[in-house]
Structure 1
Amino acid sequence: MRITGIRATPVAVPYRADEIWAFGRRHGQISVLIEVTTDEGVTGLGEAAAYPSAEIVLAVLRGLEPLVLGEDPFAVERLVRRIDLVGTWHHVKATSPAIAAVEMACWDIAGKVCGQPLVNLLGGRFRDRVECFYYVARSSPGEIAEEAKRATEAGFGTCYLKVGSDDPRTDIERVAALRDGAGPGARLRVDANEAWSPGAAVRMVRELQRYDLELVEQPVSGRNLAEMAYVRNRIDVPLLANEASWTRHDQLAVIRAGAADVLSVDNQMDGGLLNLKRGAGICEAAGLPVVKHSLGELGVALAAAVHAIAATPNFRYANQAYGALLADDVTAGFGGGIESYVDGCVPVPAGPGLGVTLDRDKVDSYAELYRTRGAEFSFGDPGALSAAHALPKF
């Protein structure tokens, strides 16, 4: 079997509520769906987050074609090494989502040909379903409390909230509202997206720990591991590395620096599902748990991640997903939206390969939305662009 083509379709899917973080917002999710075709008529699905933009993902996919066409989709290791080394893509992180989408599609092909769900090809089921957190959109304290209540009523055990506001008192009010709405039994996770200096991070985490935080994610710059270790050694809430740990090489550096208690892993940022498992294995050898990070994903990428997580032991916390924000999805029968979750968990798809199919009408509709209004769904925020932001905020 040989690969004969890569077909790419950018789509834009709206959110129910804007995603807002320390330095911007977006109104919906842009993903690049890919279909890898073969000479035997089997097609594999993949998905790339539009990071840093859909245009860059599409350019990388065009650049990958000479390295992919004519190759055996079963030879995943050979194919990825060919991209990394012959194509010299291994040192450019912005190319990773496109590479990961191609690798994902190859795994889908392999599973379909074997008649097996992908989880069985990645080590077999360690768990039958994957827990995800409920992404609470940052808004007023009253709205946060209502959304947190909705999360617990829907069966989610973990609520996630972005902090890193311009005024730290606003963060305290929002986290207090999150606890009020979620109730005493819920696990709460906050993410500052590198917005704080080390001293401010220590002070803020000590202020917020009264709300019984499960994890504090990337409170300081991910580029300075000594700062992270400084903060980690002065707070009682476990520190989750995110921007510091997007690749397995980064994860090894975080471990060596003693800079985190839990590490994020991400197949899209590390170029594939095999690399996600490698990174998780490095962390397991260090005695550390991992969580799945997401740049935003629809049903195709969510399904791929669920298969990999289900086959990897040390995913001990709820993982990042976008079901609470997405207004719709592009798959049939398995969606990236909230309807796919049962008590905050996503069941492992049972069909061969990724176990998902595209809803062609929805793909066409959201591809048209991307063509006509795609700029409205990018990471950019006009309000943020007009401000003079700097790291850290204080």
Structure 2
Amino acid sequence: MKITGIDTIPFAIPYRKPLRFASGEVHTAEHVLVRVHTDEGLTGTAEAPPRPYTYGETQESIVAVIDKIFAPQLLGRSALEREAVHGLLDRTVGNPTAKAALDMALWDILGQAAGLPVSGLLGGYTDRMRVCHMVGFAPAARMVAEAERVRDTHGITTFKVKVGRRPYTDDVAACRALREALGPEAELYIDGNRGWSAAESARALREMEDLGLTFAEELCPADDVLGRRRLVSQSTIPFIADESATRAAEVTRELLGGSATAISVKTARTGFTASQRVLHLCEGLGVEVVMGNQIDGQIGTLCSVAFGAAHRSAARRAGELSNFLDMADDLLAEPLIIEDGALRVREGAGLGIAVDPEKLARYRQDG
């Protein structure tokens, strides 16, 4: 089953409202649809979401690195040789979402060839995941209104609140308003996207001690090495490493160095193969993982839930699986539906991705 072609299709779908956070804001999902074709007629599909302010990738760079560097190395190889493929991809530094999309597309092919869902091949722990919704920067009243709408409409009771503004008091006030509105049964955790210093983080956490936060994520930059270690050592809240722990070696560094006590796994940046390595490393070290979100569309979200539901440790916490709700449209022929606060794995062979050709023609950017 040889790889005969790789398509990279840039597309752009606007958001109904921008998502704002400390390291940037997103108004349009400018992603890349990646398709890997084989000589047996099977096609694997995935989505690569560039985040230039986090990993340095752009829509144009993803297309270029796949078309000009990765595809020439992969054409003619067996689609089942994932380790050999990773050996080739790893010769090129960086480009995490481009590599991840290729990996997930190959797993999609593997599932189709076996006649089994990818989630089952990865582990098959459960058929659904609880959903966590990400609430971006806005006045406190609007953040509360969004959280209440998502709770009442979709049954979601876990919320990741974007913080990192200056002054930090705006974020403290927003978190307090969310707790008061949602009640003690809601789970709240905060994500600073490196927006605060260690000192600001410490002060903000002291002011939120009574809010019962579940996690704190990337409140200050990874380069603030000593500050992060002091912050983590003094806090009773588990600290999640996200942007600072994008591969297994970085996970080891952050955990053993005392800069984090939990890890965010994002299939959009580590695919399925490297995400399993990160997950198993965390299990071996006895730390929790959460399934993060790269502000994915529905295709990326489908991949996240397939991986998260496959593993007991990943399915334990609600995954960040709802940001596609803010997009004006999507590419899937059968849209995802969140019911009773959960998202189900797609049934059928592979990942179950079926792209609507009319929508792809409407939103693609390559003419």
Which TM-score band applies after superposition, normalised by the shorter structure? over 0.9
Give the corresponding residue for 1:348: 345
Question: What residue in structure 1 maps to residue 82 of structure 2?
Answer: 76
Match of 2:360 among 351, 363, 387: 363
* Corresponding residue of 1:385: none
Q: CA 1:352–1:225 in 2, change beyond 3 Å: closer, same or farther? A: farther
The amino acid that maps onto 2:112 is K
Corresponding residue of 1:207:
207
Shift of 1:209: 2.5
CA shift digits 1:109-133 (9 cap, x unpaired): 111111110012212x212212221
Q: Is the 8 A contact 1:247 1:265 kept in 2?
A: no
SS in 1 for 2:14: strand
Where 2:312 maps in the other structure, the secondary structure is: coil
Give how far 1:228 is off: 2.0
**Matching residue's letter, 1:247:** R
Give how far 1:102 is off. 1.1
Task: Report what 2:61 is aligned to.
Answer: 56
Asked if structure 2 preserves the Cα contact closer than 8 Å seen for 1:135 and 1:324, the reply is no
Q: CA deviation at 1:134?
A: 1.1
In structure 1, what is the equivalent of residue 284 of structure 2?
285
Q: What letter corresponds to residue 167 of structure 1 in structure 2?
A: P
Match of 1:145?
A: 144
How far has the Cα of 1:267 moved from its partner?
Answer: 2.8
Mapped to 1, the partners of 2:58 and 2:24 lie a distance apart of 15
Q: Is the 8 A contact 2:295 2:324 kept in 1?
A: no
CA contact (8 A) 1:330 1:362 kept: yes
The answer on whether the counterparts of 1:6 and 1:35 sit within 8 Å (CA) in structure 2 is yes
User: Which whole-Å CA distance do the structure 2 matches of 1:226 and 1:246 have between them?
Assistant: 20
- Looking at structure 2, the residues matched to 291 and 342 of structure 1 have their Cα atoms a distance apart, in angstroms, of 20
- CA shift for structure 1 position 100: 1.2
Amino acid paired to 1:328: D
Q: Structure 2 matches for 1:65-214, cutoff 5 A? A: 65-84=71-90, 88-89=91-92, 92-93=93-94, 95-123=95-123, 125-153=124-152, 154-214=154-214
| Cα contact 1:147–1:181 (8 A) shared by 2 | no
Query: How far has the Cα of 1:161 moved from its partner?
Result: 1.6
Q: Deviations over 1:110-169 (max 9, x none)?
A: 11111110012212x212212221122321111111111112212112112211112222
Distance in structure 1 (CA, Å) of the matches to 2:30 and 2:181: 30
Partner Cα distance (2:4, 2:280) in 1: 33
The alpha-carbon deviation at position 300 of structure 1 amounts to 2.0
Q: Distance in 2 between matches of 1:35 and 1:234?
A: 47
Report the TM-score when normalising by structure 2.
Answer: 0.93
What is the alpha-carbon distance in structure 2 between the residues aligned to residue 208 and residue 362 of structure 1?
44
Give me the whole-angstrom Cα distance separating, in 1, the residues matched to 2:331 and 2:181. Answer: 31
Alpha-carbon contact 2:44-2:107 (below 8 Å) kept: yes
SS of aligned partner of 1:70: coil
In the TM superposition, residue 253 of structure 1 has moved relative to its aligned partner by 0.8
Question: Per the alignment, do residues 275 and 23 of structure 1 end up closer, same or farther by CA in structure 2, a change over 3 Å counting?
Answer: closer
TM-score (norm 1): 0.87
Contact 1:122–1:311 under 8 Å retained in 2: yes
RMSD: 1.7
Partners of 1:219 and 1:71 in 2: CA distance:
43
**1:349 to partner: Cα distance:** 1.0
Corresponding residue of 1:5: 5
CA distance in 2, matches of 1:5, 1:50: 22
Instruction: Give 3-state SS (helix, strand or coil) of 1:269's partner.
Output: helix
SS at 1:232's partner residue?
A: helix
Q: Number of aligned residue pairs: give it.
A: 358
Within 2, Cα distance between the matches of 1:11 and 1:266? 21
Secondary structure of the residue aligned to 2:31 is: strand
Q: Secondary structure at the match of 1:314?
A: helix
Kindly indicate whether the alpha-carbon contact (under 8 Å) linking 1:221 and 1:227 is maintained by their aligned counterparts in 2. no
Whether the aligned pair in 2 keeps the contact of 1:144 and 1:181 (CA below 8 Å) is no
Q: CA 1:312–1:226 in structure 2 vs 1: closer, same or farther (change >3 Å)?
A: farther
**How far apart are residue 12 of structure 1 and its match?**
1.2
State how far apart, in whole Å, the 2-side matches of 1:320 and 1:75 are. Answer: 30
Q: CA deviation at 1:225?
A: 4.1
Tell me, yes or no, if the aligned pair for 1:277 and 1:312 is still in contact at 8 Å.
no
Segments of structure 2 that go 5 or more residues without pairing to the other structure are 52-56
Give the alignment of 1:191-340 within 5 angstroms.
191-270=191-270, 272-315=271-314, 316-321=316-321, 322-335=323-336, 340=337
Alignment partners' CA distance in 1, 2:228 and 2:243: 11
Q: Is the 8 A contact 1:131 1:318 kept in 2?
A: yes
Q: Distance in 1 between matches of 2:346 and 2:226?
A: 41
